Amino acid sequence: MGSFDRSKKRIQLWKKALLHFSLCFAMGFFTGFAPTSTASLFSGQLISYRHIKNLGISAEPASLNRNLMAKISTARDPTDTTPKEEPRNLLIVITTTRSEDRFQGAFLTRLAQTLRLVPPPLLWIVVQAHSEAPATADMLRKTGIMYRHLTFKENFTDAEAEADHQRNVALGHIEDHRLTGIVHFAGISNIYDPQLFEEIREIEVFGTWPVAMVSANRKRVVVEGPSCNSSKVVGWPVGNLSCGTANEGSSSDPAGLGMASKPARINVSGFAFNSSVLWDPDRWGRPTTMPDTSQDSFKFVQEVIVEDENKLKCIPPDNSKIMLWHLHIPRVIPLPFRQKQNKR
């Protein structure tokens, strides 16, 4: 029995040795097919990680997301000599509204569609009576335009006084927040050549252009604006340039109208200015002894434009074309008509 046990143990030892030999042989066989270096498996990831660190972005390779990869792909090559595009000036478009305007929603929507065609940056400031603001606020949220909706609670019986108050509300907001850009007053019934907005961006201080006044119930077009020699304002026509009624004039005064050195008034939508005019009193001579709330900012801007005509830029040069039309449509229902409707 002792010899039988010893032979059995020898067989078990041989089996273990054969099993170990087989495992080592299999591991050596398959190791021969593996690459000699593992660096190539992760080199791409290591390079990307080093690139990110060079960009100043802290991230682990396993946590890279699409935004980081986008930054890497758009990183500017230091050897690229292509000139960088200069940033555009911000356009600050101010629109006032009128109480009890039956077409207000339609006209604001149409103006919003026009402003959507303007390349950014653009800020649309809409001023409105507090009681009528909710419906307009919902419309503005859907336009896709960067906007600010300002409201007021004062009551007015005079439409022009209400409009001036709204313009001062907007200008006060621009001054308080130091919004830097080119300011333009856009009436809700204005019709634009989109190129005008690009011309406005190029204004350094002040700019002006002709406005064609179109009336729905009158067969004429009245043009208000400067007379220009290239980009310089040389005068202001006195009178109306009416379609079909203008007299023949000289080459310098083709409409046959007189010329004035300063305008009696400038069409509200016929000029634009650099917003720094509002908060740089030393440069522009604005009085600083009174609080800002007591100043008529809109009146001040108009006075500065008329007095500082040398800094006015004429758009387009030589008044070569009309780029803005103002469509006049009676939009407030007459009081007798409203009373008649209420009786029904």
- Kindly report which listed range (137-146, 230-239, 278-287) carries the lowest average pLDDT score: 278-287
What is the average per-residue pLDDT within 108-120? 96
pLDDT digits (tens, 9 = 90+) for 53-92: 333 333 334 333 444 444 444 455 556 566 667 789 999 9
Residue 149 — very low, low, confident or very high, per pLDDT cuts 50/70/90? Answer: very high
Q: What is the mean pLDDT of the chain?
A: 76
pTM of the shown model: 0.68
Distance between CA atoms of residues 8 and 15, nearest Å: 11
pLDDT band with cut points at 50, 70 and 90 for residue 288: low
Check pLDDT > 50 for residue 252.
Answer: no
- If we measure between CA atoms, which residue out of 272, 267, 268, 301 comes closest to residue 284? 301
Amino acid 16: pLDDT: 76
Rounded Cα distance, 144 and 109, in Å: 12
Beta bridge partners of 259: 237
Which residues on neighbouring strands pair with residue 94, listed in sequence order? 125, 185
Q: Looking at residue 6, what is its pLDDT?
A: 64
* pLDDT tens-digit series, residues 157-182: 999 999 999 999 999 999 999 999 99
Q: Give the model's pLDDT for residue 293.
A: 41
Q: Residue 37 — pLDDT band, cuts 50, 70, 90?
A: very low
Q: Are 159 and 82 in contact (CB under 8 A)?
A: no
Residue 103, pLDDT above cutoff 90: no
| Average pLDDT over every residue of 22-50 | 56
- Which is the CATH superfamily of the domain at 91-238+264-328? Spore Coat Polysaccharide Biosynthesis Protein SpsA; Chain A (3.90.550.10)
**pLDDT tens figures, 166-225:** 999 999 999 999 999 999 999 999 999 999 999 999 999 999 999 999 887 777 888 888
Distance between CA atoms of residues 185 and 267, nearest Å: 10
Maximum CA extent, the chain: 142
> Does the structure show a pLDDT above 60 at 2?
no
Share of the chain above pLDDT 70, in %: 66
Lowest mean pLDDT among 5-9, 11-15, 152-156: 5-9
Task: Answer yes or no: is pLDDT of 294 > 70.
Answer: no
Average confidence (pLDDT) over 133-149: 94
Output Rg (C-alpha) for the chain, integer angstroms: 37
User: Strand ranges (DSSP E) for the chain?
Assistant: 91-96, 122-129, 147-152, 182-185, 190-192, 206-208, 211-215, 221-224, 227-229, 232-238, 241-242, 258-260, 271-274, 312-314, 324-328
**Residue 78's pLDDT is what?**
58
**Cα dihedral 191/194/196/199 (nearest 10):** 170
Mean pLDDT value across residues 255-273: 76
Which of the pair, 240 or 163, is modelled with greater confidence? 163
Per-residue confidence (pLDDT) for residue 34, from 0 to 100? 61
Model confidence at 47, in pLDDT bands (50, 70, 90)?
A: very low
